[in-house]
Amino acid sequence: MKGFFVTATGTGVGKTLCTAALLYQLHTAGERTAARKPVLSGFPDPEGALSDAEILLLAQGLEPTPQSVASIAPWRFRAPLSPDMAAAREAREIDFDALVAFTRGALEGGGGWLLVEGVGGVCVPLDRCHTVLDWIAASRLPALLVAGSYLGTLSHTLTAATVLRARGIELAGLVLSESPESPVPLAETRAALLRFLGDVPCAEIPRLAPGPAPWENAPSLLDALGIVRT
């Protein structure tokens, strides 16, 4: 099974939208897909909004039942905080070895594509001594980095890419998800980043019209990222 670990420069930049769009486009192209959102904070949403795990299931045409959500997101916490803090609120702790085993075990599911969506940004703490960066490295998956287009994203994105590469993690692609307030067009942000990142595949997701399934309206990420369908 081929796959990616979808991470981001921070919270709320479009990581779930990107993952859902990729799953939807692969599924629509006839590819076998699987998704994991192992760690989920702020669940359930007090206002009834769909959780990240439910969105990933819907993007594959699957029903987001309590059982299906639990199967792809076993570490769920009520507080919308970093995983270590959210777990502490419930007198719990994430077992890092179990998390890595769960992630790597999903790769043994046969052919097709696996997308693992992280939580927060690249260096968000998971427990007392591990961050998402440690999780990505242990998963042995190439990383897709999702970034916004807000003021400050250049430094955040280059910092995230630098630490990924410093840990020997393959940066398989960059996805720019347009922020509500962007000081320059996406193309300018892209050009500035690629001057430093080199020949990294880069896709862009502009602001999408509100709707029940916005991931269905995203431009083709498969072509932009050079993802070869079977």
Active site residue 2: no
Residue ranges with strand state E in the chain: 2-8, 33-36, 39-40, 75-76, 113-117, 143-147, 171-177, 202-205
CA 85, 90, 94, 95 dihedral sign is positive
Residue closest to 118 by CA, chosen among 15, 229, 206: 15
How many angstroms separate the CA atoms of 111 and 114, rounded? 9
Task: State the CB neighbour count (10 A cutoff) for residue 185.
Answer: 13
CB-based contacts of 37: which residues, under 8 Å, 6+ apart?
52, 53, 56, 72, 73, 116, 117
Question: Pairing mode, if any, of strands 202-205 and 75-76?
Answer: unpaired
Catalytic-role residue among 15, 36, 37, 130: 37
**Are 98 and 108 contacting, i.e. CB atoms less than 8 angstroms apart?**
no
Q: Which residues are catalytic?
A: 37
